[in-house]
Amino acid sequence: MTSAAPPPSPSLSQPLRDLAAWTAHFRAAEIPVLAQTAEALEALRQNEDDVDANSIGEMISGDPLMTLKVLAYSSAHRSSRVVTDTETVTAALVMMGISPFFGSFGVQPTVQDRLRDTPEALAGLNQTLQRAHRSANFALGFAVHRMDHDSAVIHAAALLHDFAEMLLWCHAPALALRIQQAQRANPALRSSAAQLAVLNIDLMDLQQSLMKAWRLPELLIRISDDRHAEHPSVRSVALAVRLARHTAQGWDNAALPDDVKDIATLLNLSQAATLQFVREI
Q: What is the pLDDT of residues 130-161, one digit of tens each?
A: 999 999 999 999 999 999 888 888 888 899 99
For 206-217, the DSSP string reads HHHHHHHHTT--
Q: Looking at the structure, do residues 57 and 181 belong to the same domain, yes or no? A: no
Domain that holds residue 101: 28-110
Give residue 3's pLDDT.
55
Percent of the chain topping pLDDT 90: 61
Domain boundary among 110, 133, 160: 110
Go through 226-247 and write b for each residue having 16 or more CB atoms within 10 A of its CB, e for each that does not: eeeeeeebbbbbbbbbbbbbbb
Report the domain count for the chain: 2
Look at residue 120 in the predicted model and tell me its pLDDT.
95
Residue 21 within any structural domain of the chain? no
Whether residues 190 and 275 fall in one domain: yes
* Residue 228 covered by a domain: yes
Co-location of 75 and 50 in the same domain: yes
At which of 91, 110, 129 does a domain end? 110
User: pLDDT grade, residue 253 (50/70/90)?
Assistant: confident
* Same domain membership, residue 236 and residue 203: yes
- Mean predicted lDDT score pLDDT of the chain: 89
Domain match, 126 and 164 both: yes
Confidence at residue 4, expressed as pLDDT on a 0 to 100 scale: 59
- Kindly state whether residues 247 and 150 are assigned to the same domain: yes
For residue 83, the model assigns a pLDDT of 45
The CATH number for 128's domain is 1.10.3210.10
Check pLDDT > 50 for residue 271: yes
pTM check: above 0.75: yes
DSSP lists the bridge partners of residue 33 as 110
Q: What is the DSSP string of 81-135?
A: T--S---SHHHHHHHH-HHHHHHHS-SPPBHHHHTTT-HHHHHHHHHHHHHHHHH
Q: Domain end: 110, 134, 160, which one?
A: 110
77 and 130 in a single domain? The answer is no
* pLDDT for 220: 80
**pLDDT tens-digit profile of 32-86?**
999 999 999 999 999 888 899 999 998 998 899 999 999 999 888 765 555 455 6
pLDDT of residue 137: 94
Q: Is the pLDDT confidence value at 112 over 50?
A: yes
Per-residue pLDDT, 1: 42
pLDDT class for 18, splitting at 50, 70, 90?
very high
Pairwise CA distance, residues 263 & 265, whole Å:
5
The better pLDDT of the pair 87, 94 is held by: 94
The answer to whether the CB of 62 falls within 8 A of the CB of 37 is yes
Pairwise pLDDT comparison (280 vs 125), residue with the higher score: 125
